[in-house]
Structure formats: C-alpha cells, structure tokens
Amino acid sequence: MRTFGRGTRRLLSSAVVATAVAVATTPFAAAASSGHHPRVTKSGPVSVAYVEVNNNGMENVGKYTLSDGSPVFDVAVIFAANINYDGANAYLYFNPQVQSVLDNAETTIRPLQQKGIKVVLSILGNHQGAGFANFPSQQAASAFAGQLADAVARYGLDGIDLDDEYADYGNNGTGQPNDSSFVHLVSALRDDLPDKLLTFYFIGPSASRLSYNGVDAGAKFDYSWNAYYGTWSVPNVSLPKERLSPAAVEINGTPPGTAQGLAHQTVAEGYGVFLTYNLGGGDQHDYVSSFTRELYGSDAVYTGRPTAVQHAAQPRRTACGSSPPQGR
C-alpha cells in the first residue's frame, strides 16, 4: 500500500484521438527533439515532475532552476489522459483540462520544451474495463498504440507514460489481464515512436507481464519509476540503473526529510532518475531544495508567478468512489 495517496481523480471524458502517425525525434538522454532547444546542461539524475492538470498548470514545472540557471526538472508529465472503452474497442480520451493543455501547447508545452524539458502524456485507466494488460489481440494493441502515436505527433509531445491503474479489468464484459497484451502494446509503441520517450510507472498487472514469447517489453522503455510515494523500491524492469527511479516523492506530501534522504540514496547508489508528483502553483522552492541539494548540490530557485488551471469548476470524483484511492 502506498504511503501517500495521489489525490482525487476525475472520471475523464472528451474527444477521441485516433489514427497512427509515426514520427521520430531524438531520445531525451541523447539530444533535443526536432525544433526544441537543447537544455542547459546539468550534472546529476534526471528529475521528473508529474502535474495534476485538473488543478495546476504545466507551466509551473519551468519556474524552478538551480543556482546556475539550469532547470530543476528534466521531464514534465501531463497527468492524465485515459484509456476508455466503447463496448468493442479501447480508445484514447482527454478530459477538458487535459484537452486544454494540449490545445494551448504554445503556452503550456512549448515554453518547457524551449528550456530543454521533455513533456510526456501519461495514460491511465478509467474504470471501464479497458487497460494495457487486456487487449484481446496484437491488432487491438497496435491500434491503441497508433492512437497514442497520433496524439504525440498532433500535439508535439516528447513521449508517452503508461500507468496501469484504475482499469477495473473485467468491467463492461472486458477480459482479465493476459500475458501478451502489454508486450504487444509497448512493442507497437516503440515501433511507432522509435525516438520518443516511453516511460513506465511501475504498478498494476502490466508490471508483472513484461515478457512474452521471448520479447522483453521492459527493455523498450526509456525510464521506469517506483509508484509508492515516500518509499524506495527498485522497479523490476530490465533497464540500467541510470534509467530507473527507486525513489518517489509527493511534493508537500512526503516529508521533506524523507525526500532529502531518498535523493541522497539515489546519488549514493548510482541511480539516474528521481520521481516527483503533484507539483502545484506557488513558491515551493524550500521543499524542492530538499532534494535538489542532494541531487545537484544546489538550492532550487523559484523564478515566476504560479499558474493555475483556467477552467470552469466541475464536480470532483475520487478514482474509487467516495474515498480517496490508496495509490496515486
């Protein structure tokens, strides 16, 4: 059970994205993608920031630097789009907040990319029975991968993050997780997005179904990270240490002393990624500094005003009904 909840969810709904378009940009660790400015070089682990865009602006990720001016965060994750189900097929859904971030990419995404921060879209289950682990065929998995690839191309994103939570496998007559589904999906995604980031939030049925028929899906990811905030747990994915984050912290949820300790352990044990969740608006440089001092030998500097989401208020639901979920 995770130490800290990831907050409430909305059931996501909006336009469907379809049609595969394969495009290539360079991997984060190798070079900046086409049309993106190279990031200011810094030494140390890759820092990742998940942003709950129902409540907070993506722009906040770019408002933290180290003392030398380089960005604190290297990867910003739009949390989250959904895998939904129409009674026959899985399809990609955006809620109004996610759609707004994507539609306004020139102000929400491009400024981050111009700082060298990669922006990826997280995909999450939505209680409808469709998930990454229960595609009934390779063709079905490839079709959904095509929708994800199209979204990356359409909105100029740097990759896709997979989070196998809240699928509620079996709902609406869907199947239970099978051994081949996730491997087929990840393989198709890597084929469609050969030079984009693919990241894996290590949780759910997919986490125990990484290999099928001699194919290791884990090796196709760029990064994978621990899913339990305030803890240290090495993801069981066949990636080198520099591509893994055993540490996971919820900003202002995980105690700062714990965040500092996890950052210290990350460096001491030679891991190359540090995961954070729930970066909000306002000046949180004191908390962010609790881990940047250990990761980079520098305090964090807050450089701008907070950006909140600009949407009409909507009813909130938790992922599991009336009680907050135990996970993210």
Statement: residue 316 has pLDDT above 80: no
pLDDT digits (tens, 9 = 90+) for 137-185: 999 999 999 999 999 999 999 999 999 999 999 999 999 999 999 999 9
Residue-level pLDDT at 33: 36
2-6, 57-61, 103-107, 248-252 — which is least confidently predicted?
2-6
Q: Whole-number mean pLDDT of the chain?
A: 86
Residue-level pLDDT at 16: 36
Residue-level pLDDT at 42: 86
108 phi/psi in degrees, rounded to 5: -100, -30
Statement: residue 82 has pLDDT above 70: yes
Residue 27 pLDDT grade (very low, low, confident, very high; cuts 50, 70, 90): very low
pLDDT digits (tens, 9 = 90+) for 176-224: 999 999 999 999 999 999 999 999 999 999 999 999 999 999 999 999 9
Q: How far apart are the first and last CA of the chain?
A: 11
What does the alpha-carbon distance between residue 107 and residue 219 come to, in Å, rounded to a whole number?
Answer: 34
52, 165, 250, 294: which is the annotated catalytic residue?
A: 165
What does the alpha-carbon distance between residue 199 and residue 202 come to, in Å, rounded to a whole number?
Answer: 9
Residue-level pLDDT at 60: 97
73-82, 258-267, 302-311 — which is least confidently predicted?
302-311
pLDDT top residue among 323 and 81 = 81
Pairing state of beta strands 273-277 and 301-302? unpaired
Sign of CA dihedral 242, 279, 311, 307: negative
pLDDT digits (tens, 9 = 90+) for 86-104: 999 999 999 999 999 999 9
For the chain, list the domains and their CATH numbers: 54-302 (3.20.20.80)
Residue 308 pLDDT grade (very low, low, confident, very high; cuts 50, 70, 90): low
pLDDT top residue among 318 and 110 = 110
Residue-level pLDDT at 156: 99
Identify whether the C-beta of residue 263 lies closer than 8 Å to the C-beta of residue 247. Answer: yes
What does the alpha-carbon distance between residue 255 and residue 278 come to, in Å, rounded to a whole number?
Answer: 14
pLDDT top residue among 129 and 325 = 129
Statement: residue 68 has pLDDT above 70: yes
Statement: residue 292 has pLDDT above 80: yes
What does the alpha-carbon distance between residue 288 and residue 240 come to, in Å, rounded to a whole number?
Answer: 26
Give the residue-averaged pLDDT of 290-294.
99
Number of residues that make up the chain: 328
Strand partners, 212: 215
Statement: residue 314 has pLDDT above 50: no
Statement: residue 67 has pLDDT above 50: yes
165 is catalytic: yes
Residue-level pLDDT at 309: 53
